[in-house]
């Protein structure tokens, strides 16, 4: 199978059909329409075999993840995703692998109304770069740099579950049955909070997605905001499955330091709390928990019943 046949067979019609794709796959570049009064939001993330997913992961899970991690970045900006491009480096044109990959990618693309509009296909060690392009009404995007002391700190979902799922897959954590299945699913198929991110505009003062661990990403948000944060360990939401398999201390440690959550961590000024409570109670909203607050100063402190917990550092590819 040649490169052009491969592109035509697997990538020509992936994801949503959109009227704002003036010209999609097939020319030198895609032509995309932007709604008036909006800004373009763009991000890219690369997944390397064995670094960003365990070697031997199912191809459909890799396809899902490659888009999901980008949709999570778009969600954290409060933006609406629209288009994706895909740069794929493959050791060989394995048809089973390609079919699985496209199935996973297409499933989450279609669910979020995203059209695949271009890409690049080359030979080499398995590496996947996905770019997502979306839009947001001008001036309304959420940022990580705009949290203020006194703001309440919230997180969606159940941080730590995905890290526990990865630990189970790699044999570093033991467990069976429904709990194991639920946690592994959280790692294999992250569900970015795209709709909720858009609804946080006008309520949240700042937002970041949790990809490298809650404490580490919180540290980035408050550093960018020129502030600090206090987290109350007792308020960390721990899923029943995580609690059952990791115990209380293990669950808290994973919730603070585990990566791959793709939840939203956001701040809400005290005056917008009622609006957030109403939003969180509305149909389709994820679980939201207040875990602490933004404070004057620098850094993240985690307060437990008996003193402070050490604050874990997040993942850094280049740390010595």
Are 205 and 268 in contact by the 8 Å Cβ rule? The answer is yes
- With CB under 6 A as the contact rule, which of the stretches 21-29, 59-67, 159-167, 311-319 interacts with ligand ADP? 21-29
Please count the residues of this chain forming the interface with ligand ADP, following the rule CB under 6 A.
13
Instruction: Say whether residue 27 binds Mg ion (CB under 5 A).
Output: no
| Footprint on residues 103-132 left by ligand ADP (CB under 6 A) | 116, 118-121
Q: Which does 7 bind (CB under 5 to 8 A by kind): ligand ADP, Mg ion, none?
A: ligand ADP
Q: Which does 26 bind (CB under 5 to 8 A by kind): Mg ion, ligand ADP, none?
A: ligand ADP
Q: Which does 88 bind (CB under 5 to 8 A by kind): Mg ion, ligand ADP, none?
A: ligand ADP
| Rounded least distance, CB 121 to Mg ion, Å | 13
Nearest residue to the partner ligand ADP, using Cβ: 119
Please give the full DSSP string across the chain, using - where no structure is assigned.
--HHHHIIIIITT-B---TTEEE-BTBSS-EE---TTEEEEEEEEEEEBTTTB-TT--HHHHHHHHHHHHHHHHHHTT-EEEEEEEEEEESS--HHHHHHHHHHHHHHHHHTTPEEEEEEEEESS-EEEEEEEEEEETT----SS---TT-EEEEES-TTHHHHHHHHHTTSS---HHHHHHHHHHHHS----HHHHHHTTTT-SEEEEESS-HHHHHHHHHHHHT-EEEEEGGGS---HHHHHHHHHHHHHHHHHH-----EEEEEE-GGGHHHHHHHHTSTTPPPEEEEEEEESSSEEEEEETTEEEP------TT--
Closer residue to ligand ADP in complex, CB, 8/191 = 8
Q: Which does 19 bind (CB under 5 to 8 A by kind): ligand ADP, Mg ion, none?
A: none
- With CB under 6 A as the contact rule, which of the stretches 19-27, 40-48, 54-62, 172-180 interacts with ligand ADP? 19-27
- Interface pick for ligand ADP out of 32, 68, 88, 272 (rule CB under 6 A): 88
Phi/psi of residue 310, each to 5°? -65, 145
Instruction: Say whether residue 21 binds ligand ADP (CB under 6 A).
Output: no
Four-residue CA torsion sign, 71, 75, 78, 80: positive
| Rounded least distance, CB 4 to ligand ADP, Å | 7
- With CB under 6 A as the contact rule, which of the stretches 24-32, 142-150, 205-213, 246-254 interacts with ligand ADP? 24-32
Please give the full DSSP string across 106-124, using - where no structure is assigned.
HHHHHHTTPEEEEEEEEES
Are 200 and 78 in contact by the 8 Å Cβ rule? The answer is yes
| Rounded least distance, CB 236 to Mg ion, Å | 50
- Interface pick for ligand ADP out of 43, 67, 75, 86 (rule CB under 6 A): 86
Closer residue to Mg ion in complex, CB, 19/28 = 28
| Rounded least distance, CB 29 to Mg ion, Å | 8
- With CB under 5 A as the contact rule, which of the stretches 20-28, 36-44, 128-136, 169-177 interacts with Mg ion? 20-28
| Rounded least distance, CB 214 to ligand ADP, Å | 33
Residues that bind ligand ADP (CB under 6 A): 7, 11, 25-28, 86, 88, 116, 118-121
Residues that bind Mg ion (CB under 5 A): 28
């Amino acid at each position: 199978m040649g490169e052009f046949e491969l592109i035509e067979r697997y990538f020509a019609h992936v994801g949503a059909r959109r009227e704002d794709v003036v010209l999609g796959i097939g020319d030198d570049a895609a032509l995309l329409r932007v709604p008036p009064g909006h800004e373009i939001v763009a991000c890219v993330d690369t997944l390397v075999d064995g670094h960003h997913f365990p070697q031997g992961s199912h191809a459909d899970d890799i396809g899902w993840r490659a888009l999901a991690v980008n949709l999570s970045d778009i969600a954290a900006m409060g933006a609406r995703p629209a288009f994706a491009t895909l740069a794929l480096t493959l050791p060989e044109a394995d048809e089973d692998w390609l079919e699985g990959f496209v199935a996973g990618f297409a499933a989450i693309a279609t669910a979020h109304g995203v059209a695949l509009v271009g890409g690049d296909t080359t030979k080499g060690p398995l590496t996947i770069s996905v770019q997502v392009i979306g839009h947001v009404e001008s001036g309304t995007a959420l940022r990580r740099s705009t949290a203020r002391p006194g703001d309440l700190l919230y997180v969606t979902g159940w941080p730590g579950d995905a890290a526990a799922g990865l630990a189970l897959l790699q044999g570093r954590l033991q467990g069976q049955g429904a709990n194991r299945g639920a946690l592994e699913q959280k790692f294999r198929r992250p569900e970015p909070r795209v709709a909720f991110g858009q609804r946080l505009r006008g309520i949240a003062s700042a937002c970041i997605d949790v990809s490298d661990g809650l404490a580490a990403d919180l540290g980035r948000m408050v550093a960018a905001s020129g502030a600090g944060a206090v987290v109350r360990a007792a308020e960390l939401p721990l899923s029943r499955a995580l609690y059952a398999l990791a115990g209380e201390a293990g669950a808290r440690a994973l919730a603070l330091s585990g990566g791959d959550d793709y939840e939203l961590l956001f701040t809400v000024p005290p005056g917008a709390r009622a609006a957030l409570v109403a939003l969180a109670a509305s149909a389709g909203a994820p679980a939201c928990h207040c875990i602490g607050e933004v404070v004057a100063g620098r850094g993240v402190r985690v307060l437990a019943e008996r003193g402070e917990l050490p604050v874990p550092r997040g993942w850094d590819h280049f740390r010595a």
